[in-house]
């Protein structure tokens, strides 16, 4: 046996016969595999933009059939009541997901799919407290981060989701709302991150404004051209783009 073979040889040694770090999920855990051959296209590309992947959307529709639903980041959703901070998404309600203007038990379920790669603990608590206050039955969390909550909103079920190739894996968690609710956090009780931003919208808006400024000296650049660039390349359409 060579020296390199001895160094590279794997041997298993355990203390007390226990493998640290292994455990069982506390709730039923299911897998959703989203195929890459999507049935629809946006602006010539196979991508969902800021809407749910088709398989996730179908699951949510089945879960919520016959119930009322609120999206707190819902500009690109196509069911339920949609709240969003960005008026360009044409939501039902323009508002802040961290401070939603809805009363206690206003909807059967609330869906949270915050467009942030990372979530501070304060931000997560603020969102979950607000959603739990509004929801009568369930709160759904769709994100790249698996979260935990307290006894007033226990985890009920969960799905691990392969969205596509070269994509971060998502998780969909369903939390059961307890009759013993904790009121939403007030603005002075937490520090939130940057407001919702859509990177491609910001880039296109900056480009459109540059074109608009240049149009003062360019008779060939019409208002229709400006509107087309501002809308993301096609007149009358808005690209619900990627996270920043």
Q: Write the CATH number for 49.
A: 3.40.50.150
* More confident: 128 or 191: 128
Enclosing domain of residue 34: 29-189
Let me know if residue 114 belongs to a domain: yes
> Are 68 and 176 within one domain?
yes
pLDDT in tens, 138-183: 999 999 999 998 888 999 999 999 988 888 889 999 999 999 899 9
SS3 at position 201? helix
Nearest to 159 by CA among 51, 32, 34, 65: 32
pLDDT at position 85 is: 87
Q: How many domains does the chain have?
A: 2
Shared domain check, 208 and 185 = no
Q: Is residue 113 within 8 Å of residue 82, measured between CB atoms?
A: no
Whether the pLDDT of residue 18 is over 80: the answer is no
Percent of the chain with pLDDT over 90: 39
Residue 70 has a pLDDT of: 97
Same-domain check for residues 105 and 223: no
The pLDDT value given to residue 58: 94
Q: Which residue has the higher pLDDT, 56 or 240?
A: 56
Q: Which of 189, 207, 229 is the last residue of a domain?
A: 189
Please check whether residues 220 and 99 belong to one and the same domain: no
The confidence band for 119, taking pLDDT boundaries of 50, 70 and 90, is confident
Would you give the DSSP letter of residue 195? P
Who has greater pLDDT, 227 or 151? 151
- 221 occurs within a structural domain: yes
- The CA distance from 140 to 6, in Å, is 51
**Within a domain: 231:** yes
Q: Is 105 contained in some domain?
A: yes
Residues 183 and 201 in one domain: no
Contacts of 79 (CB under 8 A, 6+ apart): 60, 61, 64, 69
Residue 203 has pLDDT above 60, yes or no: no
The residue-averaged pLDDT of 54-64 equals 94
């Amino acid at each position: 046996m060579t020296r390199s073979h001895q160094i590279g040889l794997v041997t298993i040694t355990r203390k007390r016969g226990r493998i640290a770090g292994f455990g069982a999920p506390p709730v039923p855990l299911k897998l959703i595999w989203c195929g890459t051959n999507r049935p629809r296209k946006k602006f010539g590309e196979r991508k969902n933009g800021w809407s749910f992947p088709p398989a996730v959307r179908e699951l949510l529709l089945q879960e919520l059939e016959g119930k009322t639903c609120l999206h707190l980041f819902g500009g690109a959703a196509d069911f339920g009541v949609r709240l969003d901070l960005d008026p360009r998404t044409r939501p039902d309600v323009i508002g802040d997901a961290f401070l939603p203007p809805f009363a206690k038990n206003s909807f059967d379920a609330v869906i949270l799919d915050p467009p942030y790669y990372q979530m501070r603990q304060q931000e997560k608590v603020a969102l979950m407290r607000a959603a739990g206050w509004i929801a009568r039955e369930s709160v759904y969390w769709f994100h790249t981060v698996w979260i935990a909550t307290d006894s007033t909103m226990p985890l009920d079920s969960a799905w691990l989701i392969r969205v596509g190739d070269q994509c971060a894996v998502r998780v969909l968690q369903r939390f059961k709302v307890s009759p013993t609710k904790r009121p939403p956090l007030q603005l002075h009780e937490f520090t939130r991150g940057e407001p919702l931003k859509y990177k491609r919208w910001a880039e296109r808006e900056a480009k459109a404004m540059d074109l608009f400024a240049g149009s003062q000296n360019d008779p060939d650049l019409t208002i229709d051209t400006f509107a087309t660039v501002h809308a993301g390349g096609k007149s009358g359409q808005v690209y619900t783009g990627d996270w920043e």
